[in-house]
Amino acid sequence: MARTVGVEEEMLLVDVRNGRPRSVSGQLVLRAAMHEQPVAGLGVRGALEGEFQQQMIETHTAPVESLDDLADEVRHWRNEALSAARQADSTVAALATSPFPVTPVPVESIRYAWMHERYQIVARQHLTCGLHVHVGVDSDEEGVGVLDRIRVWLPVLLALSANSPFWNGEVTGFASWRSQSFGRWPSNGPTELFGSAAAYHRLVRDLTMSSVILDEGMVYFDARLSQHYPTVEIRVADVCLRASDTVLIAALCRGLVETAAREWARSVEATAVPTTLLRVATWQAAREGVSGRLLDPFTLRPQRAWDVIDRLVEHIRPALGEADDVQVVKEGLERVRTRGNGAQLQERTMARTGQLIDVVAHAVRVTAGHEEEG
């Protein structure tokens, strides 16, 4: 039986007339709650929720085993977000940063007020949208064994998902500026090797007791044990423009988790890459995405991005085969290779028209399910 997988997608709420972010998440969440329905045929329920800023919305899928079911859930909750947004004269764009200049407006809560007071400009400027993939694990010990063994591959997931080349009206020169902006939070980024669940929980406890972060929910590692579910939560990716790319990243995450869990069970040593080098590899992935070079996870030397991606697929191929995910991954990677990821699609639109509003308009169409435009 395949491990369960589910995703959380953070997305921008934008004005239907000018593509600029709008502060309407409270209205959307209220309307969505009034009309909440289970997903037809799946017997499970996801959610539509607000996030840190009022210009954001977050969808949650339920855990499923089939990637077809996951695709249905992702599209269902994107449609739910879109339907709720329309009632507030807004729409939804699966962009990891806003191409237009924006002043983020915080959601009113005691927690978020504390964060704004504590983190100042970091909180005031924060408006980024990520993709979080949850993959089921049997125990915290297995989960930490997985975290220790997937850490070297996480920059590759960032490169594939990169979807934030613009920031506040500027061309950043990065495929994923979200990852650079989010890196200003104190607990963000790659982690060292833990070795045991006890060591992991000790570090989380020390972080929370430092008073630098508020609680365990602010442990923003690139991958972590979920606070609420029996899952490993992989948080490194940008939100993907295409729903099908979200499913691709989820499939790769599940393959990585299954492969790592098997290595842990056989006591295969985790690769001891220094965290500083992982930080460099993550920066490189954010800078060049899939169009340039990535650092090989084991040699830490630059290689063609697609050579490193192919190496990832070979690494997890047995797990992909047993979960019947090979075809989804093959087709998904071919789509990104030939048509581009989110960052490349945004850049292509900008090169064609020179207008940020066209970048957002295209993103809105693709988010709504018109994937032929991607």
Cα 323-298-328 angle, rounded to 5 deg: 25
Q: What is the DSSP string of 254-305?
A: HHHHHHHHHHHHTTPPPP---HHHHHHHHHHHHHHTTTSEEE-TTT--EEEH
Residue 242 maps to which CATH number? 3.30.590.20
How many CB atoms neighbour CB 55 within 10 A? 25
- Please give the share of the chain, as a percent, with pLDDT higher than 70: 94
- The half-sphere exposure of 164 on its side-chain side, counting CA atoms within 13 A, is 30
What kind and span of H or E run contains 49? Answer: strand 47-50
Structure tokens at 121: 């400009």
Range 247-286 burial, b when 16+ CB lie within 10 A, else e: bbbbbbbbbbbbbbbebbeeeeebeebeeeebeebbbbbb
140 neighbors 225 (Cβ within 8 angstroms)? yes
Contact residues for 232 (Cβ-Cβ < 8 A; gap 6+): 134, 135, 137, 143, 146, 147, 150, 223, 224, 225, 226, 257
Per-residue pLDDT tens digits for 201-230:
999 999 999 989 888 888 999 999 998 999
Residue 40: per-residue pLDDT: 42
What kind and span of H or E run contains 167? Answer: strand 166-167
Per-residue pLDDT tens digits for 99-125:
999 998 888 888 888 888 999 999 899
158 neighbors 164 (Cβ within 8 angstroms)? no
Give the residue among 188, 193, 183, 189 at the shortest CA–CA distance from 150: 193
Residue 140: per-residue pLDDT: 98
Flag whether pLDDT at 50 surpasses 90: no
Exposed/middle/buried for 352, CB within 10 Å: 0-12, 13-18, 19+?
Answer: exposed
Per-residue pLDDT tens digits for 350-370:
999 999 999 999 999 999 998
Count the domains in the chain. 1
Per-residue pLDDT tens digits for 243-276:
999 999 999 999 999 999 999 999 999 999 999 9
94 neighbors 240 (Cβ within 8 angstroms)? yes
- Please give the share of the chain, as a percent, with pLDDT higher than 90: 78
Q: How confident is the model at residue 306 (pLDDT cuts 50, 70, 90)?
A: very high
DSSP letter at 8?
Answer: E
Residue 263: per-residue pLDDT: 98
Helices (H), the chain: 25-34, 67-86, 110-119, 121-125, 140-150, 154-161, 177-182, 197-209, 243-265, 275-288, 305-322, 326-339, 342-353, 356-367
Contact residues for 109 (Cβ-Cβ < 8 A; gap 6+): none
Q: How many residues does the chain have?
A: 374
* Spatial separation of the C-alpha atoms in residues 1 and 182, rounded to whole Å: 36
**Residue 307, helix vs strand vs coil:** helix
168 neighbors 95 (Cβ within 8 angstroms)? no
Which residues are 32's β-sheet partners?
none
Calculate the CA 200 to chain-centre distance: 22
Domain containing 242 equals: 5-373
213 neighbors 187 (Cβ within 8 angstroms)? yes
Which residues are 11's β-sheet partners?
57
